[in-house]
Amino acid sequence: MFRGFKQVLQRRDIVALCVFIFMADSLSGIVIPTFSIYAQGLGASLVLIGVLSSAVGITSMITAIPSGMLSDRIGRRRVLLFGMMVWTVALISFAIVDHPYLLFPGRILMGAAIILTFGIGAAYMGDITSGEERGPAFGLYATAMGLGFAVGPLIGGPIAANFGIAWSYGFGAMVAVAGFFFGLRYLPHDPPHEPSEPTDSGEEEPEARTGFFQVLLYPPLLIVSVAVFLQSTAFMGAIQNFFPLYGQDVAIISAGFIATMFSVRAFASTGVRIPMGILANTLTTSGVMTISLVIMGLSLIGISQTTDTTLLTIFLALEGIGFGGFVTAGQAFIAEISTNQTRGTAMGIYRMAAAVGSAGGPVLLGVIASQWSLGTVFLLTGVVVLIGAMGVAWTVPWRRIFFGRPQTW
């Protein structure tokens, strides 16, 4: 089990990709904890804040599949480098605006950048790994994402507190430029296409199917797409947009401390990702995904029931643990059911499902927050995620979760 992880650490291509993704997710860590406060300071209402977040999700939803298909054709490396350039422009856009409606171009670019880096990076990790290396490699990849998201607030928070939130976004743009040049120097070129192989059951895999809809309608891919939709609604819909406002307005927590709470969440999330990647080799990726959704749902309900700073920090950290387990298992699952001939397309479908949650969730939850309360946002989201987790568990029999492989469904 741990031999695979040791092999992963010795692979320069895997480590270089993880460093690149670490830099990309540090940009998310700079923006996410403070964006709703920044937008509110420019005059945005709660509903507009939700719409601004949905702009990220809608753009991600539109670009996910085309970006994945493009990377299948021209290679992941080129798309990854372009994604870091898009991050740069988005962050500069945030830093220079003086009206909430002018935040839309940056949010649209951010949605594209998320797909062009995280989504394509996960597909690329699937290309360069196989066998017992794959679970630990995705654990390391998800850990790099988590560390980036943890470090981002630690850098952006103090800059925002001392110089203003716009300055933190300007610093993020410089990090994105550095990430581009790092990738240009160290990201390896794409491996050649691997041949298609039949499953153990003799059924045709999606990589052997040349049609887009044949990939889209592959049952395991549909199931994991429902699961990532729920995960995205919980994080991108509730946590990202409304936890900072909940902490500031209901629990009376400062913006700087909220950024620190997000860092605690990120470190907790990061700490479980390599173990979850290793565990997925035994428990299977689908089992890890189901358990992670349950943890997220219970944590959201917990947030809705307290205004105590310590408890909020604990529940936010637990939500991060569930999120970390899901990120690791979900991406590894996509890699298991595809090859690099269609992995970009499959990952694009997966990311599109996540984008549907991040696009629709914030608007609906913004309306709920306006009509009822911020606490209701977390309660309802938590209940829906728990119901969805039970549905996923029912769809994937427990015997197969613990002992089967996804190709045998």
pLDDT tens digits along 24-77: 999 998 998 888 889 988 988 888 887 888 788 788 888 988 998 888 888 889
Q: Is residue 203 part of a domain?
A: no
Q: Where are the alpha helices (DSSP H) in 233-283?
A: 240-245, 255-271, 273-283
Q: Is residue 198 part of a domain?
A: no
Whether the pTM exceeds 0.85: the reply is no
> How many independent structural domains does the chain possess?
1
Q: How far apart, in Å, are the Cα atoms of 341 and each of 17, 126, 170, 215, 398?
A: 20, 11, 38, 11, 31
What is the model's pLDDT at position 391?
74
Residue 401 has pLDDT above 60, yes or no: no
Q: How confident is the model at residue 142 (pLDDT cuts 50, 70, 90)?
A: confident
Q: What's the mean pLDDT in 304-312?
A: 89
Average pLDDT of the chain to the nearest whole number: 82
Residue 386 has pLDDT above 50, yes or no: yes
Helix axes 2-9, 134-163, angle to 10 degrees: 60
pLDDT above 90 covers a percentage of the chain that reads 26
What is the model's pLDDT at position 395?
62
Domain housing 251:
2-189+211-408
What is the model's pLDDT at position 208?
46
Q: Higher-confidence residue: 115 or 216?
A: 115
What is the model's pLDDT at position 202?
42
Q: Is residue 206 part of a domain?
A: no
- Residue 306 carries which side chain, given as an amino acid letter? T
Q: Is residue 201 part of a domain?
A: no
CATH classification of the domain holding 277: 1.20.1250.20
Residue 36 near residue 54, CB atoms below 8 Å:
no
What is the model's pLDDT at position 2?
56
Query: DSSP assignment of 55-94, as one string?
Result: HHHHHHHHHHHHHHHHHHHH-HHHHHHHHHHHHHHHHHHH
Q: Which residue has the tokens 């991050």?
A: 87
Q: Is residue 202 part of a domain?
A: no
Q: How confident is the model at residue 200 (pLDDT cuts 50, 70, 90)?
A: very low
What is the model's pLDDT at position 175?
95
Q: Is residue 138 part of a domain?
A: yes
Residue 211 has pLDDT above 60, yes or no: no
Query: DSSP assignment of 306-351, as one string?
Result: ---HHHHHHHHHHHHHHHHHHHHHHHHHHHHT--TTTHHHHHHHHH
Ranges 83-92, 129-138, 161-170, 326-335: which has the least confidence: 129-138
| Residues ≥6 apart with Cβ < 8 Å to 376 | 304, 368, 369
What is the model's pLDDT at position 77?
92
Where b means 16+ CB within 10 Å and e means fewer, 212-230 reads: eeebbebebbebbbebbbb
Q: Is residue 219 part of a domain?
A: yes
Q: How confident is the model at residue 306 (pLDDT cuts 50, 70, 90)?
A: confident
What is the model's pLDDT at position 225?
86
CA distance between the termini of the chain: 24
Residue 80 has pLDDT above 80, yes or no: yes
What is the model's pLDDT at position 207?
43
Q: How confident is the model at residue 214 (pLDDT cuts 50, 70, 90)?
A: low
Q: How confident is the model at residue 88 (pLDDT cuts 50, 70, 90)?
A: very high
Residue 91 near residue 27, CB atoms below 8 Å:
yes
Q: Is residue 105 part of a domain?
A: yes
| Residues ≥6 apart with Cβ < 8 Å to 366 | 46, 47, 49, 50, 51, 241, 242
Q: What's the mean pLDDT in 113-139?
A: 85
